[in-house]
Structure 1
Amino acid sequence: MPTLKLNPRSLISPLGIARFFQILLSCTAFSLVAVHQDYYDAYGTWSMFTWCFCFVVSIVVVALELIGLAESLPLSWQDFTSAFSMLAALMIFTTSIVYPSVFIPNRCASERCSYEAAATAMSCFCFLAYAVEVGLTRAKEGEVSSFLASVPGLLKVFEAYVACLIFSLVDVTKSYRSYPGLQWCLAVYCICFIITLLIIILTIGRCLASLPIPLEKTLVGYNVLAVLLYVTAAIIWPIYSFRNTTRPSPCNPLSPACARWNSQLGVTFLSFFNLIAYIVDLVYSSKMAFVTTPA
């Protein structure tokens, strides 16, 4: 049975201070919104979930490191915290854009929106706190560290998160049912997401390194495949999505036609973002596998 040993130094280290601000700012953000009860519809629910999720997990991380239980868990703690900080930064960043763009114009049009503006500011500062943690835990050049703390590992989290955003927008459009080309694109998004998520899970579970395969070269091969698949998706999706359709004018964001157009455009941009991410991932992975020499 693991023994508990208090580690108060974890609270006063730069990483501990960053996590303190993460907890404080995320708690302040969702408290301001909850008091004013301004979190209706899917966007508000997403924002509240993001702040609460990051708040709870950050408290758990701080508590486990404080009582000295983190290293006794049957997982790679550094991989887990690196992946979570990257995921939280991405989630908070998205929320810091989505929440004010939806709720501040609606609220300010009829009354004061000080609560919404303050929550947005706290969310932006919270993103900076998580970004600081990502920077503090990221593996430096030539440093032996956990995989998810390296640039390719952080990119894996980014790629999986962007794929989730794509799925949410594809579900809005429903246009993939009309053309086989769009169904191919959806298959590309699903295949790459599943494999990337599996890599993340196996890494955190300390299982990836035990696989009977040359790991670094296998990751390079997967990245080559992902780049080729995303190239096809980035080309095919806009061709079929915007075939025989034009942007509604005027485009009311609340109208189904405009929402569908915006979602299709969002999937197009996110496809290119993920394509760029996989290309950068391929470059870094190739450098780690074929260029970097062991010390």
Structure 2
Amino acid sequence: MAVLVLEARDCTSPVFLVRTWALLCGCVTFSLVGSLEPEHLREPQRRHTTFWIACMFTWCFFFTLTLLIHVLNVIQFHSLLPVSWKNLTVTVAALGALMTLSASVLLPWRVLVHRPTSARPLAAAVAACLTVLAYCGEVWAIRGQPREQRGYMASLPGVLKIVQCWGGFQMIPLFLETMTATQARDLSAGGGGHVWQLWVSVGLYNVCLLMSLASVTVILCDCAGRFCPFPFDRLLAGFSLLGVLFYMVATVICVTNVLQDVENRSGLLIMETVIISITLMAYTVDFSFSIKQLCERGHG
């Protein structure tokens, strides 16, 4: 099969321009953050903290993924891939917007010292925000295309599944940091603490994340009818229902910890509460869409 090069008029399309913008801003962001001196960090003795690693991984991963998509789109090689290209591009853009947004919030809050006179951390924060805007612009440009050029992941139910994946991914570094803080607190207090609550919560998060990743993977590979032994729309509704139930249990555990006012974890509890609330809302709305779709098909 011949490989075609992108035409000149495609280089001025909104998707091409914002994707190039995302590449430039992402490269500048992780370059500036990686070059920060130890005194710029909140904990100079722990340069590679969990959140610092999570932020750097986010920018580097989505830069690499966006560059690969950009190159494949330019040489028109994506038609040879066994994936739904229109679903893949919007999935990477939307998830990149959410993940880089989290990283841009964590950068000044949990990683850097608040030094308004320091130019390099301020420039890194500005570049991180521009990266978020670039990915948001790519999502907006893709959703602005004609309906036949957009995939399922560009619809509201598809975006909700991306939000669900984002919530599960955010819990990984949060759990590691919370476990470290809890173990240090329990060691100094000489008690057993509430470590079991953390393990129950992380188990629920992981199950929900695996269900959301499985749903997105099936959609991206267009294999719902080939490998799924059950009606895929009913399977999605079941996953959404389980996500609602599991995150409700996790919400109860989180609220209990907030009421107990655990010391040295107030910031982590705020982050966990915000992420749980957003993800629970995404599962709830997604479940509502799934039920509505099943009812419409039943009446039809």
Instruction: Please indicate, yes or no, whether the TM-score normalized by the shorter chain is above 0.5.
Output: yes
Q: What whole-Å deviation, never above 9, does each CA across 1:141-192 have from its counterpart, x for those lacking one?
A: 9868422222212211211121122232223333698465554433321211
> 1:235-274 alignment to 2 at 5 Å?
235-239=252-256, 241-242=257-258, 245-246=260-261, 248=263, 258=264, 260-274=265-279
Q: % of aligned pairs identical?
A: 26
The 1:209/1:134 distance shift into structure 2, 3 A limit, reads: farther
The alpha-carbon deviation at position 121 of structure 1 amounts to 1.2
2:206 aligns with 190
| Change in CA separation of 1:123 and 1:182 when aligned onto 2, cut-off 3 Å | closer
Taking the TM superposition and a 5 Å limit, the aligned residue runs for 1:1-295 are 2-8=1-7, 9-37=9-37, 40-42=47-49, 43-102=51-110, 104-108=112-116, 112-138=117-143, 145-174=150-179, 178=194, 183-210=199-226, 211-239=228-256, 241-242=257-258, 245-246=260-261, 248=263, 258=264, 260-291=265-296
Find the residue that maps to 1:41 and give its secondary structure.
coil
Secondary structure class of the residue paired with 1:46: helix
Tell me if the contact between 1:25 and 1:123 (Cα under 8 Å) persists in the aligned partners.
yes
Give distance in 1, aligned partners of 2:33 and 2:251. 37
Aligned partner of 1:255 in structure 2 is none
User: Residue 35 of structure 1: CA displacement?
Assistant: 4.3
Q: Would you say the 8 A contact 2:171–2:272 is kept in 1?
A: yes
Task: Give the letter aligned to residue 90 of structure 1.
Answer: L
Distance in 1 (alpha carbons) for counterparts of 2:261 and 2:111: 27
Shift of the 152–139 alpha-carbon distance from structure 1 to 2, 3 Å rule, reads farther
**Counterparts of 1:12 and 1:247, CA distance in 2:** 53
Gaps of 5+ in 1: 249-257
Structure 2 residue runs without a partner (length 5+): 42-46, 183-191
CA shift for structure 1 position 44: 3.2
- Offset, 1:33: 3.2
Please, what TM-score do these two structures have when normalized by structure 2? 0.80
**Residues in 1 aligned to 2:150 and 2:294: alpha-carbon distance in whole angstroms:** 15
Note the aligned Cα RMSD (angstroms).
3.1
Is the contact made by 2:25 and 2:128 (CA closer than 8 Å) also made in structure 1?
yes
Deviations 1:197-222 (A, max 9, x none): 11112222222242232222321232
Contact 2:101 2:129 in 1 (8 A): yes
Report the CA distance shift for 1:92/1:287 in structure 2 as closer, same or farther (over 3 A).
Answer: same
TM-score relative to the length of structure 1:
0.82
